[in-house]
Structure 1
Amino acid sequence: MTTTSVMAPIGGRAVGLHDVPDPVFSQGMVGYGAAIDPPREVIDAVAPVSGTLMRLMPHAFVVMTPEGVGVLVHLGIDTVRLEGEGFTTHASQGDDVTVGQAVISYDVPAVEAKGLSPMVPVVVMDERDADNIRLSIEAGSQISCGAALFVATK
């Protein structure tokens, strides 16, 4: 059994995954975790764990830990439709990253201007048991970038 501490990739207001306005996330279809409602400014999204950047898209990334735990950070809801507009990547797929390393700059006001939710789900990929996720912060609380968001047990 492994325990993985997942840090907040951005600062903002902690949100329970069930309150994310997308059933793919709110119903745990891709995995369980938490979400963050970001400040309305341009921010850097950082690696929530150390590992290999297994997947990098302009609006999302997955970091795989050495223990095989994949953590997805998805910047906004339905932001794939923006085709990269409002996002700047600072790493490449396949790179090794350390927790806290900037991966993508996220223009939150630009995403909201397109009528999309800026909410940022952070989930353990393919985690099917919500009980394996223990939140480190209460929903509704403010969280700083890099602070403990949740602990995943596999």
Structure 2
Amino acid sequence: MTHTLRSPRPAAFRLRSPQDLAAGLLLAAIALGGLWLARNWEAGSLAMMQAGFFPRLVCYFLLASGLATMFRALTADAPAALAWAWRPSVAITVAVVAFAALLDKLGLVLAILALIGIGGLAGRPLRPGPFTALWATLASTCVAIFSWGLGLPLQIWP
């Protein structure tokens, strides 16, 4: 009786971390969308940068991060995916959109107040003292940097 020796099967790619794959796909999609939006902008060169240089550079780094994260999904074991945290995701998204919508109408200081107030719904609410300290610090720092330091024509108050 003869025995046939089986050759070992080639190792197939096995998805070890579905959440890393999802995160990598999201990063890559955002990067590709940004590259598509900046497709008509002149990039220039390192010596003479133009409007499209930095956005494209950021998108390329984001794409590389997405690809590395997707590769990690095949090579590194990760714990099972947790349930989606809807409340923080919605609260942070609404806070950023509200900030953008209110910046011209209410000014920088009050738009930051709305940002912190709505964003605070993502987790445990802050007590009034820490909330006020966070708002005052963030608002004064943003006014100092963007309005005074960089000279951007931002409305500070309504």
TM-score by length of 1: 0.20
- Of Structure 1 and Structure 2, the greater strand share is in 1
TM-score by length of 2: 0.19
- Of Structure 1 and Structure 2, the greater helix share is in 2
